Amino acid sequence: LRVTEDNVGVTTTVLYETLSAANKNDWVTYDTNTGTATIKASRKDGNTIYKLEAISNDVFFNDENLKKVVFEEGSCVKTIAGAAFEGCINLTTITLPDTVTAINSGTFYGCSLLTSVNIPDEVTSIGSDAFNGCDSLDTITIPNSVKSIGEQAFNNCPFTSITIPNSVTEIGANAFFNCRSLQTVVLPNALQEIADELFTGCEALTTVNIPDSVTSIGWGAFADCVSLTSITIPGTVTAVHGTAFK
């Protein structure tokens, strides 16, 4: 809540709201011909200005008609609930506002036609299953603000390469499971563990350099990486668990 008064004594109240199924018509313009949802940055009712700061998980969940999401300029959305766009199987493009601070669990789970999405510089975490099953997402840039990547975050994504910034200290199990087109990966220099099945099924992966910060390599971490011909394991690694390179 913010209350201001202009030079003629008119008081304006600013309220922040969460977009939900109940108020969707107030905040979203939906072009059914193109499948485009435009999300407003603000709206006014008398002397009250409403600004959108969050999106719940019941607005677009499993919306098979949704193809594109546009946030109006000036959007101050910080929070997008987990599974917010899960099951939007025809969603191809979304540009997130710069104010978003996290990609929560399952946000884009199963968006199999998604080809373009940005991760804003304010994002500090990518949750579990965030992009799991995004079978058409062949490129993504992870900003230096990200500190953690959750389990199964990028399962089955068709990346050919991925650079994980040095800001990342934790990557969950199965994060890149079955990324069959992945050929090269750059790991962060503060990573302490190669988690279980992190790169299982990455059939095109050829070379990996494990940073000196890593102390353990988990179960099945590189299992079924049939093209892996070169891997550098530093002396800091004290544990290599069974089937790590099966």
DSSP-derived pairing of the beta strands 28-31 and 36-39: antiparallel
pLDDT at residue number 56? 95
pLDDT at residue number 5? 47
pLDDT at residue number 246? 85
The residue with tokens 């939900």 is: 20
Q: What is the pTM of this model?
A: 0.92
pLDDT at residue number 9? 61
What single letter denotes the amino acid at residue 11?
T
214 within 8 A of 194, measured Cβ to Cβ: yes
Which tens digits make up the pLDDT trace of 137-154? 999 999 999 999 999 999
Per-residue pLDDT of the chain (246 residues; tens, 9 = 90+): 455 545 456 688 999 999 999 999 999 999 999 999 999 999 999 989 999 999 999 899 999 999 999 999 999 999 999 999 999 999 999 999 999 999 999 999 999 999 989 999 999 999 999 999 999 999 999 999 999 999 999 999 999 999 999 999 999 999 999 999 999 999 999 999 999 999 999 999 999 999 999 999 999 999 999 999 999 999 999 999 989 998
Phi, psi of 240 (to 5 degrees): -120, 110
- How many other C-beta atoms lie within 10 A of the C-beta of residue 246? 12
172 within 8 A of 193, measured Cβ to Cβ: no
